[in-house]
Amino acid sequence: MDPAAVVFPRTVEEVQAVVRACAANGAAIVPSGGRTGLAGAATATRGEVVLSLEKMHRVLAVDTAARTLRCEPGVTLQRVHEVAAEHGLLYPIDYASKGSAHIGGSLATNAGGVKVLRYGLTRDWVLGLRAVVASGACLDLGGALIKNNTGYDLRQLFIGAEGTLGVIVEITLRLCRPPADTRVALCAVADDAAVLALFARVRSSSLVLSAFEFLDDGCLRHVLAYRGGAAPFADPSPRYVLIEVEVPVPGAAAAAQTQEDLELCLGDAQEAGEIRDALLAASQAQARGLWALREDISESLHRHTPHKGDIALPVARVAEFLAVWRPAVAARLPGIEALCFGHIGDGNLHLNLLRPADLELPVFLDRVHAFDDETYGLVQRCGGSISAEHGVGLLKRSHLHYSRTPEELAIFRGIKAALDPTDLFNPGKIF
Amino acid sequence: MDPAAVVFPRTVEEVQAVVRACAANGAAIVPSGGRTGLAGAATATRGEVVLSLEKMHRVLAVDTAARTLRCEPGVTLQRVHEVAAEHGLLYPIDYASKGSAHIGGSLATNAGGVKVLRYGLTRDWVLGLRAVVASGACLDLGGALIKNNTGYDLRQLFIGAEGTLGVIVEITLRLCRPPADTRVALCAVADDAAVLALFARVRSSSLVLSAFEFLDDGCLRHVLAYRGGAAPFADPSPRYVLIEVEVPVPGAAAAAQTQEDLELCLGDAQEAGEIRDALLAASQAQARGLWALREDISESLHRHTPHKGDIALPVARVAEFLAVWRPAVAARLPGIEALCFGHIGDGNLHLNLLRPADLELPVFLDRVHAFDDETYGLVQRCGGSISAEHGVGLLKRSHLHYSRTPEELAIFRGIKAALDPTDLFNPGKIF
């Protein structure tokens, strides 16, 4: 079913007018950002009005002393990065779709990305927001104040609510100082257990770890097949880890010290059998090249219409999960390639099941959907979450019970009723 | 009215049994921690059952690779610090009452303290918690997972809820690496505007500022009168600022560099007329001595039964607020001494009105309470909050409208109804 309309307000007042008109006419609203989400939270399936924030794309203010950036929701993540950098500051949330993803959508999904290990999730960087709720009122939930303990923190409710409680119309982000410099290495690793041993080693060293990203051999093969380029190592390895560490203070001496510490750490890891080989980027260009091997994965897999999973596990149980999941796929889904990459330092894995060229899409979907319960049941038994950073949206709604108890779902419904009693915003999403 | 009973459960199951028994018998519950709160949130005034968490004081686990500490709510903040330090890690939330304050209470009030500028509020350091709600069920709201985007983040609701939504029975805190070292200076400053100019200077320098604390001359006089000791400077000054900066990496060279950078920065500030004099601690003992001038304020004022305010302002408007507030006190409350100290880098001021020895307590209270509306009205006009970090509890409930709109209060009631429909927990607190 097509949306009833797509509206493009340019101001808070126009958002309020749309909300009031929809409320008066019984039309539901689907807020929409950069449309890079993977859970379907911005998809209108019931003839709703799609409220696109793409015309609200102004950066309103940067305060270098307070280290904040205030903007409208339709600003892309990349633009936030650029404006912060122009002021010598950093917005540290970073992920591959940053060129299209809106900052409003990143709040709505509490986006994570590749630097969570060091900098946390989007939630940790939102000082305040304004949101239009079902009555048409615009709630002003902070931004100028660092501290405000006057009752429940409603700001937190809107972050990660996937547009079900209202429309975020203004955002004040915290910024920080950028690291003086970074060093990047790619490691070839034999198996999942070695990946986790390497993580524990780097994490407990003196290095300031800013990313610890994981990809399996299949991911690398698909990236190279899709966009060309030389393999990073002469011999392929079952697993790869991309490590980024920060140089903690400016200056050549500190950079050299970090480089030396990283080399020593990786040398020890090689001696301990945790890594087979390692490649340290000798320049910024090389570092970007190594990062591209990781960041180009999603695009490279696209033509195989992958069935994607985004799960979180206690870090200590990642290997246990994979040791069961990989053989289960091989046994239950013969002919379907299973790839895995992700932010393993956060326990966050992106699972991908690829459609073989000779398998019809509906047949493929039937088979992989039938396997979902096995995946999510295993996630639940490992104490994990069925959505780490992509949210629930439409696609995981029927599986939410693997991560949320009936008591919690009842509280969700009560909160929804408190903020949106007529189910005006994004009905049928999450729960 | 005395409480109906004070109960001391030792386990989650005992908390659940108390909650179920109270619910069945229509008795309300006031959760109680270290009883250091200043807003009366743990005070039973209606014959409630006080549920003290003081017997639930076990540290359950420390995970050095994940950098987490899991504990029961009755552990003191100081004990959390000690256990983290035993593992080479830091829990960076710090405030003067840490020897008595419970970690459970610090979550319930989203406590701030002296390092917010660098490390944020308690909310930023809670990876997960378990809470017993009105049904007697225990919600498990994370702890092992860094990422979990499956619906509304209920964990955030319990943080800062002042015990109105349930009883927090287990907590998983994030820890971080401690700074390699710190340097501390006390500055003598002429006026409030100079304090803020100094803040902007230090904040935009290369120094890693971990505290920027402010006290006025009256505070210092009371501290010295109460517990003795020499004045830090030969001549008194209207305002003082305590600055702590971190040495970013280990080693004597980095420590010397930080010391030199701090000296240069303060030298520039003196030349610019922002400070009159400065004292750099030459040892850890001296640093502790300077910190004690700030941390001993509350205890020193105690015998004057101060009427306390805890307000937050946009940092840029602190001087504007004080320029109106101080003369207003002098005009409206003659004979009553007004003192001010606080975390000025966060825009957080602690206002204190002292009872003159010859003024009866009820008369004093009548006069200062009558002045509250003037203070909070001014806070509102400056875009501030009537409670920065102490919460609302009982004492600020009637003033909450200065910081919250009727629409927001209606949402609060809806959330309360969703989690605690019979008003079992802490009735009459916050709103």
Per-residue pLDDT tens over the stretch B103-119: 999 999 999 988 999 99
pLDDT average, residue stretch A229-241? 96
What 8-state DSSP symbol labels residue A358?
T
B108 CB neighbours in chain A (<8 A) are: none
Cβ of B315 and A66 within 8 Å?
A: yes
Tell me the residue length of chain B: 431
Q: How many CB atoms lie within 10 A of CB A82?
A: 13
Q: How many CB pairs under 8 A join A and B?
A: 229
Q: Which of B95, B116, B126, B147 to mutate to test the interface with A (most CBs of A within 10 A)?
A: B147
Q: What is residue A62's predicted lDDT score, i.e. its pLDDT?
A: 96
Strand ordering across the sheet containing B126-132: B59-63, B68-71, B167-174, B126-132, B138-141
Cβ of B147 and A312 within 8 Å?
A: yes
Find the angle CA(A138)-CA(B377)-CA(B380) to the nearest 5 degrees: 35
Amino acid at A105: G
What ipTM was predicted for this assembly? 0.93
Q: Does A45 touch chain B (CB under 8 A)?
A: no
Distance from CA of A371 to the nearest CA of B (A): 20
pLDDT class for B237, splitting at 50, 70, 90? very high
Q: Among A142-146, A216-220, A334-338, B381-385, where is mean pLDDT lowest? A: A142-146
Q: Does B414 touch chain A (CB under 8 A)?
A: yes
B135 CB neighbours in chain A (<8 A) are: 407
CB B216 within 8 A of CB B119: no
- Residue among B378, B358, B262, B363 at smallest CA distance from B307: B363
Q: What is residue A172's predicted lDDT score, i.e. its pLDDT?
A: 97
Q: What is residue A395's predicted lDDT score, i.e. its pLDDT?
A: 87
Cβ of A418 and B419 within 8 Å?
A: no
Which residues fall within 8 angstroms of residue B144, CB to CB, at 6 or more apart?
A314, A383, B128, B172
Percent of chain A with pLDDT over 90: 87
A204 CB neighbours in chain B (<8 A) are: 64-65
Which of residues 81 through 120 in chain A touch B, CB cutoff 8 A? 109-110, 112, 116-117, 120
Nearest residue in chain A measured CA to CA from B107: A149
Distance from CA of B338 to the nearest CA of A (A): 22
Q: Does A134 touch chain B (CB under 8 A)?
A: no
B398 CB neighbours in chain A (<8 A) are: none
Ramachandran sector of residue B267 (left: φ over 0; alpha: ψ -120 to 50; beta: rest):
alpha
B116 CB neighbours in chain A (<8 A) are: 146-147
Alpha-helical runs (H) found in B272-356: 284-295, 297-301, 318-332
pLDDT average, residue stretch B397-418? 94
Q: pLDDT (tens digit, 9 = 90+) per residue, B306-331?
A: 999 999 999 889 999 999 999 999 99
Q: Does A411 touch chain B (CB under 8 A)?
A: yes
For residues A187 and A145, the model is more confident at: A187
Tokens of A319: 């290997």
CB A63 within 8 A of CB A20: no
Nearest residue in chain B measured CA to CA from A254: B249
Q: What is residue A107's predicted lDDT score, i.e. its pLDDT?
A: 97
Cβ of B137 and A407 within 8 Å?
A: yes
Considering chain A, what is the average pLDDT of its residues?
A: 95
pLDDT class for B204, splitting at 50, 70, 90? confident
Q: Which of B109, B148, B177, B245 to mutate to test the interface with A (most CBs of A within 10 A)?
A: B148
Backbone phi, psi, residue A256, to 5°: -65, -40
Cβ of A387 and B150 within 8 Å?
A: yes
Which of residues 333 through 362 in chain A touch B, CB cutoff 8 A? 343, 346-348
Cβ of A147 and B405 within 8 Å?
A: no
Considering only the beta carbons, identify the residue of A149, A152, A204 that sits closest to B388: A149
Considering only the beta carbons, identify the residue of B145, B160, B203 that sits closest to A65: B203
Q: Which of A130, A146, A430, A431 to mutate to test the interface with B (most CBs of B within 10 A)?
A: A146
Q: What is the largest CA-CA distance in chain A?
A: 69
B405 CB neighbours in chain A (<8 A) are: 137, 139-140
Percent of chain B with pLDDT over 90: 87
Cβ of B160 and A147 within 8 Å?
A: no
Which of residues 12 through 41 in chain B touch A, CB cutoff 8 A? none
What 8-state DSSP symbol labels residue B41?
T
pLDDT average, residue stretch A254-279? 97
Considering chain B, what is the average pLDDT of its residues?
A: 95
Which of residues 252 through 271 in chain A touch B, CB cutoff 8 A? 254
Amino acid at A245: V
Considering only the beta carbons, identify the residue of A312, A316, A412 that sits closest to B152: A412
Distance from CA of A227 to the nearest CA of B (A): 31
Q: What is residue B65's predicted lDDT score, i.e. its pLDDT?
A: 82
Q: Does A284 touch chain B (CB under 8 A)?
A: no
Q: Does B318 touch chain A (CB under 8 A)?
A: no
pLDDT class for B414, splitting at 50, 70, 90? very high
Q: pLDDT (tens digit, 9 = 90+) per residue, A92-142?
A: 999 989 999 999 999 999 999 889 999 999 999 999 999 999 999 999 998
Q: What is residue A157's predicted lDDT score, i.e. its pLDDT?
A: 97
pLDDT class for B283, splitting at 50, 70, 90? very high
Amino acid at A153: D
Instruction: Please identify which residue in the block is written with the tokens 């409480």.
Output: B3
Q: pLDDT (tens digit, 9 = 90+) per residue, B47-63?
A: 999 999 999 999 999 99
Q: pLDDT (tens digit, 9 = 90+) per residue, B131-189?
A: 999 999 999 998 888 888 899 999 999 999 999 999 999 999 999 999 999 999 999 99
Amino acid at A386: I
Which residues fall within 8 angstroms of residue A256, CB to CB, at 6 or more apart?
none
Q: Does B163 touch chain A (CB under 8 A)?
A: no
Q: What is residue A427's predicted lDDT score, i.e. its pLDDT?
A: 93
Nearest residue in chain B measured CA to CA from A410: B418
Q: Does B407 touch chain A (CB under 8 A)?
A: yes
Q: pLDDT (tens digit, 9 = 90+) per residue, B9-35?
A: 999 999 999 999 999 999 999 999 998
Cβ of B390 and A149 within 8 Å?
A: yes
Nearest residue in chain B measured CA to CA from A258: B249
Q: What is residue A198's predicted lDDT score, i.e. its pLDDT?
A: 96
Alpha-helical runs (H) found in A296-340: 297-301, 318-332
Q: Does A209 touch chain B (CB under 8 A)?
A: no
Cβ of A156 and B157 within 8 Å?
A: yes
Distance from CA of B155 to the nearest CA of A (A): 10
Q: Which of A106, A130, A150, A245 to mutate to test the interface with B (most CBs of B within 10 A)?
A: A150
B414 CB neighbours in chain A (<8 A) are: 414-415, 417-419
Ramachandran sector of residue B35 (left: φ over 0; alpha: ψ -120 to 50; beta: rest):
left
Q: Does B226 touch chain A (CB under 8 A)?
A: no
C-alpha distance from residue B284 to each of A419, B280, B281, B287, B289 (Å):
52, 11, 7, 5, 9
Q: Does A415 touch chain B (CB under 8 A)?
A: yes
Q: pLDDT (tens digit, 9 = 90+) per residue, B211-233?
A: 999 999 999 999 999 999 999 99
Does residue B360 have a pLDDT over 80? yes
Tokens of A294: 């990781």
Q: How many CB atoms lie within 10 A of CB B405?
A: 12
pLDDT class for A38, splitting at 50, 70, 90? confident
Q: Does B419 touch chain A (CB under 8 A)?
A: yes
Cβ of B418 and A418 within 8 Å?
A: yes
Q: What is residue B317's predicted lDDT score, i.e. its pLDDT?
A: 92
Alpha-carbon distance of A431 to B192, in angstroms, equals 52
pLDDT class for B66, splitting at 50, 70, 90? confident
Q: Which residues pair with B246 in a beta bridge?
A: B182, B208
B195 CB neighbours in chain A (<8 A) are: none
Does residue A1 have a pLDDT over 80? no
Q: pLDDT (tens digit, 9 = 90+) per residue, B381-392?
A: 999 999 988 888
pLDDT average, residue stretch A404-421? 96
C-alpha distance from residue A371 to each of A325, A364, A365, A402, B301 (Å):
11, 11, 10, 14, 66
- Residue among B277, B323, B319, B382 at smallest CA distance from B193: B319
Q: Directed axis angle between helix B361-381 and helix B318-332, to 10°?
A: 150
pLDDT average, residue stretch A347-368? 95
A248 CB neighbours in chain B (<8 A) are: 248-249
